[in-house]
Amino acid sequence: MAGGGQVVLRTLSQQGWVRGSGAAVLSRLQDAAVVRPGFLSAAEEETLSRELEPELRRRRYEYDHWDAAIHGFRETEKSRWSEASQAILRRVQAAAFGPGQTLLSSVHVLDLEPQGYIKPHVDSIKFCGSTIAGLSLLSPSVMRLVHTQEPGEWLELLLEPGSLYILRGSARYDFSHEILRDEESFFGERRIPRSRRISVICRSLPEGMGPGEPGQPPPAC
Ligand SMILES: O=C(O)CCC(=O)C(=O)O
């Protein structure tokens, strides 16, 4: 049957990049936690890195703050992009967001130093809607998702440079996400050494918070 075949193929194609605590969670989240390896061409990676580097270099890396989820990072919220980068971001929008979804006006750019990492957290529901989509540059990393009520349920996403990940619905609301520190950076048995990583993250606005509607949030989540 054509439909059944498609499901099997899609599950297989996820296997190299997504692993989980069991078949049930993998199947349930197959459209909610998605990795698209090689989403960016080498030229597109270069375009984004070159555009971001001067802005990031002006900032200092930040370390533990009493409630910070991120360690060893610098970041910016960027709303003006070159034509070439805008074309990339339009591709992200088409790949990850539905036609009815409005995106936050600024894109979040996060630069993790080699020892930097992101602790488990769920993005604020006050400021971010149901979809988060991130491009990874420079270094591979492992993103771990853990169910907030059932910690035995987890997924790991292998994020290679040039990949796009998408978290939506249950993967975004019911699971925390984190980027593993270098010492813990394994995808199953496979060691994934971490170096400096830049991510470019687009988020949807919370539903009912479109442009022009009251209560538009600040650009950062
Ligand atoms: O760097 C990433 O891809 C994830 C960033 C993240 O978890 C966040 O900003 O909330």
**Which residue in the block uniquely carries the two structure tokens 């591709």?**
91
- Using most ligand atoms within 8 A of CB, pick from 173, 179, 180, 197 the residue to mutate for ligand 1: 179
Backbone angles phi, psi at 164, to 5 degrees: -120, 135
What are the pLDDT digits (tens) for 104-120?
999 999 999 999 999 99
**The ligand 1 atom nearest the CA atom of 177:** 7
8 Å CB contact between 178 and 26:
no
**Mean pLDDT for the stretch of residues 178-193:** 97
Tell me how far CA of residue 108 lies from CA of 56, 84, 170, 172, 177, in angstroms: 12, 18, 22, 16, 16
8 Å CB contact between 175 and 147:
yes
What are the pLDDT digits (tens) for 1-39?
333 444 444 444 456 999 999 999 999 999 999 999 999
Query: From the CA of 23, how far away is ligand 1's center (Å)?
Result: 26
The Cα–Cα gap between 204 and 125 comes to 11
Residue whose C-alpha is closest to residue 133's, from 14, 38, 34: 34
Query: From the CA of 111, how far away is ligand 1's center (Å)?
Result: 10
Query: From the CA of 42, how far away is ligand 1's center (Å)?
Result: 22
pTM: 0.89
For atom 1 of ligand 1, which residue has the closest CA? Answer: 199
- Residue 65: band (very low, low, confident or very high) from pLDDT cuts 50, 70, 90: low
The answer on pLDDT for 212 being more than 80 is no
pLDDT of 68: 77
The Cα–Cα gap between 195 and 177 comes to 19
Which residues approach ligand 1 with their CB closer than 6 A?
A: 108, 110, 118, 123, 134, 177, 179, 199, 201
